[in-house]
Amino acid sequence: MLFDSHAHLDDGRFDKDRDQIINNAKKNNIKYIMNPGANLKTSVRAIEISQKYDIVYAAVGVHPHDVKEMDDVTLELLESLAKKPKVMAIGEIGLDFYYDHSPRDCQREWFRKQIQLAHRVNLPIIVHDRDANDETLKILKEEK
């Protein structure tokens, strides 16, 4: 049995052949596929896709590239989404110090807040860590 732990099936590039991709996965003994969100919109889309396909499950979260756009309302919406059926994790969350699309302080703040959200809804997290290993581990230890 295989489990694809990280597939962005919500990507528009899969719109034309998503059914075929998922059917091929089933034929090749993939029993579960996790589709993590990268922002609020893709988190909603991940849930929609999970409702259509029996082997697909969703994670909701905001990727470090997009956390500069987060606020408390977004966090509340994520918490609501996290309680939907077939949502199995909070993610993709973390730190990305390679691209720095969001300021590092902002990344740290929202990584912590999304970990705290995961604790509230009792879900595991899917961590994105690029060129930020020490800080990622530090935050994970502090927020455990």
Domain that holds residue 108: 2-142
56 phi/psi in degrees, rounded to 5: -100, 135
The secondary element (H helix, E strand) that includes residue 138 is helix 133-142
pLDDT in tens, 19-30: 999 999 999 999
- The predicted model gives 56-66 an average pLDDT of 99
Instruction: Count the domains in the chain.
Output: 1
pLDDT given for residue 134 in this prediction: 98
**pLDDT mean over 57-67:** 98
Burial 14-24 (b: 16+ CB within 10 A, else e): beeebeeebee
What global pTM score does this model have? 0.95
Residue 67: give its domain's CATH number: 3.20.20.140
